A and B are shown apart, each in its own frame.
Chain A
Amino acid sequence: MNENGGYVLQVREIVKEFPGVRALDGVRFDLARGEVHALVGENGAGKSTLIKILAGVYAKDEGEILFEGKPAVITSPTDSLRLGIKVVFQELALIPNMTVAENVFLESFPLKKNKAIDWVRMNERTTDILLSIGLPISPRSKVGGLTVSQQQMVEIARALSHEAKVVVMDEPTSALSPNEIKFLFNVMNKLKKLGIGIVYVTHKLEEVFEISDRVTVLRDGRLISTKPVGETGTDEVVRDMVGRSITTLFPRTHPGSRTHAAANAPVLQVENLSTEKKLRDVSLSVHAGEVVGVFGLLGAGRSELAKAIFGLDRINRGRILIEGRELRSGSPSHSVKMGIGLLTENRKEEGLVLQMSVSQNITLTSIRELATLGLINRKMETERSREFVERFSIKTPSLRQKVMFLSGGNQQKVLLARWLMKSLRLIILDEPTRGIDVGAKAEIHKLIDELAKEGLAVLVMTSEMPELLGVSDRILVMSKGSVTGEFPREQTTQEDILAAAIL
């Protein structure tokens, strides 16, 4: 055992090829017991390919995997689970219509002698496991009704339910609020104490340095560096990731509030807005050329506010004014006419039309402008979309490529392009950089800045503190469906914001 230095998992010269691309090119990676090993890199660097191989989703072309020093054959998800490798993907592997307990024991339900499912034991053991990671939820509740972080915990509970030795986490925090992240880190430390090795895939470097012991950087399918976090720093890691050093993550060239807010009338005015869903008496205003950041813990009502302003949800009380004219609620098509755009937090479900091409997705909202008498001018369509593909440097083999084959970052850019092709007054961005790599993040922040500069009113809902402080001119904090604080960016601290967020 010791000849492999207590490593629970060793990956040697792994190669994986897809038609046209070499996704992994002789990557080495190893993980010790009770270690958190961060795995970072831009999209397309090969992170997800690597963990998919560990999960048994893909089969490796070359190289070998040692598990506890012994060569391991992983050809199917079952194999990797049997070994004791548990991968928690971003798209959580849960069945919404089934209970927590069922999801925890989905691979193998506890059975009675007569092979019948032992519901009592299943529920008890689930409760125990959940308590052991400090999550007091009923094993009988349907997973569909849980928050994202709770659902993650259910997956981790699943890992514990069949004594996993390795847990791989694919960007677990991208959908979590700060204190949920704290909670997750506590759980991770608990796992460490149990001697479980954790592969931690993330885009948030600050987290890398907070939780992990070592960090490995991949780029273009190659291994760039593996260092103990003590011996490296953010800039170095970023340089390794993108191959160049990014000057600044949060460029700001637009004048910001000071000039505008005073000067012109607000583009968006929300007065005592209340909805069935959640919102209680929310009032706010956004001016042209201003970026307003809305912060709130999960369940605070950020997304609900975004949807309500856009007119997706019917409102009970209050009104929404766009440049003084009242917005008819419950009719998105009307909102779009009024010049509002919404980028929702879940790209795939509410954004992209997956089986449509890149260009068709880009032009979806503005197709009318590209048509005469309803007839689409194909030439114009291609030109315009090409223009945006270049301006946003969207990586795609062709405009005809189905958007489903693009990486997360590029998909997000496609959606931004869709809205920016239309001339808007106000754009609402809900978690615009969720699950997007550093490089793309920076580009999107740059775009936000440009939008404001062009005189758009921008409303950014985010749960990422750096992003919030980075992009916004003004910061609104929400809690339990109402606005609990407003700060100008200049004079505020994380503490103030969090204080308001948990009011």
Chain B
Amino acid sequence: MEKALENRRVGVLKRIFAVNEFGLLISLAVIFAFFGATSHYFLIPRNLSNILGQVSLPLIAGVGLSLLLICGEVDISIGSLQAVAALPLVHALNGTHSLALGVFLALATGAAVGIINGLLVTRLKIPSLIATLGMYYALRGAVYLITGKVAVADRSGSELFFLIGNGKVFRFFPYSAILMFVILFVFMYILKNTTYGRRLYAVGGNADVARSIGIDVVKIKFSAFVICSVLSSVSAVLLASRLGSANHLAGTGFEFQVVAAVVLGGVSLSGGVGTLLGAFIGVLILGIIQNGLGMLNVNTMWQLVITGGIIIMSVAIDELKKRRG
């Protein structure tokens, strides 16, 4: 009897999980089909490749944020980080013409910020939403002070720097998209097949339990903060390339865009639940909506209203499914 009971339960769970991503895919397909039908330009290869390039920024940051959310924390300072991380990059480029050095410095900056966030949350025990809200202000202000609100243009003329954000392989596949997929798959693998990955879920699922069986919760969360910030600064590098400058206004509102996307993708704000595939779909949905509405020349007012509406509906549908089982 227990076995029967058991099997029924598993069956149900299996279905739920299948359904969840499936549901997201459906909404994605519907949206895709809609724009395909309404705009002559949406489906042309050129535009599709643009979309890939455009979603790569929020997605790369989104992977990091998903990791963080899965282990039960959040980081809303990633928007300000977009501006911070680009500074050393472009300065190094202009100064030394070495892209490698620039990128390294950008990632290092990201790591540094991640370490600060991590310390604030794990050592000083400040809730991550608050700690990173503080950093969100502090970092943005710091950039204003440092730059005096004058953007730093890239004068190195480095072709490669231009290409990482704007270039395409075979005039179709954006470099940034390749980078995105590499990062996406690597971390999908890590989450699924490494002890570290599973422990992220364990910590997010129930930190006390994780602690009680000897998982170093602090270390796990700390590392997640660092990874999140480093990946965000990767997207900061791409953004800098797309903007051709380190810009004090870069990344304003980026944090909400990414949070909304991954949560839309089924990554739970309360930790322990979510997949990178879901996050990917979530980012795609929002990216396609932006692109598609643009293709249809929908004005900003309606863009805001429609996007907001779609976010609410998608999440609502997802919740409904969860309850239906």
Question: Do B205 and A117 have beta carbons less than 8 Å apart?
Answer: no
Q: Is B13 an interface position by the 8 A CB rule?
A: yes
Interface majority SS (helix, strand, loop, mixed), chain B: helix
Task: List chain B residues, Cβ under 8 A from A150.
Answer: 2, 6
Residue of B whose beta carbon sits closest to that of A111: B195
CB within 8 Å of A: which B1-36 residues = 2-3, 5-7, 9-10, 12-13
Residue of A whose beta carbon sits closest to that of B5: A299
Question: Do B9 and A141 have beta carbons less than 8 Å apart?
Answer: yes
Q: Is A371 an interface position by the 8 A CB rule?
A: no
Choice from A77, A109, A117, A141 contacting B212 with Cβ under 8 Å: A77
Taking Cβ atoms with an 8 Å cutoff, the residues of B that contact A are: 2-3, 5-7, 9-10, 12-13, 189, 192-195, 198, 201-202, 205-206, 209-215, 272-273
Choice from B6, B189, B272 contacting A146 with Cβ under 8 Å: B6
Task: List chain A residues, Cβ under 8 A from B195.
Answer: 108-109, 111, 115, 117
User: Known: A106-B213, A117-B198. Is A147-B205 also a contact (CB below 8 A)?
Assistant: no
Question: Do B205 and A96 have beta carbons less than 8 Å apart?
Answer: yes
Q: Is A107 an interface position by the 8 A CB rule?
A: yes
Q: Is A380 an interface position by the 8 A CB rule?
A: no
CB within 8 Å of B: which A81-104 residues = 81, 89, 93-98, 102
A214–chain B nearest beta-carbon distance, Å: 27
Question: Do A107 and B201 have beta carbons less than 8 Å apart?
Answer: no
Q: Is A131 an interface position by the 8 A CB rule?
A: no
A299–B9 Cα distance when bound, in Å, is: 13
A107-B215, A116-B189 given; name 11 further pairs at CB < 8 Å: A77-B214, A95-B210, A97-B273, A111-B195, A116-B193, A116-B194, A137-B2, A137-B6, A138-B6, A145-B9, A146-B6
B185–chain A nearest beta-carbon distance, Å: 14
User: Known: A140-B10, A142-B10, A145-B13. Is A102-B2 also a contact (CB below 8 A)?
Assistant: no
B236–chain A nearest beta-carbon distance, Å: 30
Question: Do B198 and A77 have beta carbons less than 8 Å apart?
Answer: no
Task: List chain B residues, Cβ under 8 A from A144.
Answer: 13
Question: Do B10 and A138 have beta carbons less than 8 Å apart?
Answer: yes
Residue of B whose beta carbon sits closest to that of A94: B209
User: Known: A93-B209, A95-B205, A142-B13. Is A78-B2 also a contact (CB below 8 A)?
Assistant: no
Interface majority SS (helix, strand, loop, mixed), chain A: loop
Question: Do A95 and B206 have beta carbons less than 8 Å apart?
Answer: yes
A80–B13 Cα distance when bound, in Å, is: 34
Task: List chain B residues, Cβ under 8 A from A108.
Answer: 195
- B194, B198, B213 — which one has the most chain A CB atoms within 10 A of its CB? B213
Question: Do B214 and A89 have beta carbons less than 8 Å apart?
Answer: no
User: Known: A77-B212, A97-B205, A98-B205. Is A117-B194 also a contact (CB below 8 A)?
Assistant: yes
Task: List chain A residues, Cβ under 8 A from B215.
Answer: 106-107
A364–chain B nearest beta-carbon distance, Å: 25
A480–chain B nearest beta-carbon distance, Å: 9
Task: List chain B residues, Cβ under 8 A from A142.
Answer: 10, 13
A97–chain B nearest beta-carbon distance, Å: 5
Task: List chain B residues, Cβ under 8 A from A138.
Answer: 6-7, 10
Residue of B whose beta carbon sits closest to that of A108: B195
**Interface bin, chain A:** 35 or more
Q: Is A211 an interface position by the 8 A CB rule?
A: no
- A111, A142, A299 — which one has the most chain B CB atoms within 10 A of its CB? A142
Task: List chain A residues, Cβ under 8 A from B212.
Answer: 55, 57, 77, 89, 93
Task: List chain B residues, Cβ under 8 A from A324.
Answer: none
Task: List chain B residues, Cβ under 8 A from A255.
Answer: none
CB-defined A-B contacts under 8 Å, sample of 25 = A76-B214, A81-B214, A93-B213, A95-B209, A96-B206, A97-B201, A97-B205, A97-B273, A98-B202, A106-B198, A106-B202, A106-B215, A107-B214, A108-B195, A109-B195, A115-B195, A119-B193, A137-B3, A141-B6, A142-B10, A142-B13, A144-B13, A145-B6, A145-B10, A147-B5
Task: List chain B residues, Cβ under 8 A from A111.
Answer: 195
A81–B212 Cα distance when bound, in Å, is: 10
A145–B198 Cα distance when bound, in Å, is: 19
Residue of A whose beta carbon sits closest to that of B70: A97
Q: Is A136 an interface position by the 8 A CB rule?
A: yes
CB within 8 Å of B: which A287-333 residues = 299
Question: Do B9 and A95 have beta carbons less than 8 Å apart?
Answer: no
Residue of A whose beta carbon sits closest to that of B271: A97
A98–chain B nearest beta-carbon distance, Å: 6
Residue of A whose beta carbon sits closest to that of B190: A116
A375–B253 Cα distance when bound, in Å, is: 43
User: Known: A109-B198, A116-B193. Is A141-B13 also a contact (CB below 8 A)?
Assistant: yes
Task: List chain B residues, Cβ under 8 A from A147.
Answer: 2, 5
- What are the nearest 7 A-B pairs in CB distance? A78-B214, A145-B9, A95-B205, A141-B10, A93-B209, A116-B193, A77-B214
A201–B289 Cα distance when bound, in Å, is: 59
Task: List chain A residues, Cβ under 8 A from B3.
Answer: 136-137
A138–B7 Cα distance when bound, in Å, is: 8
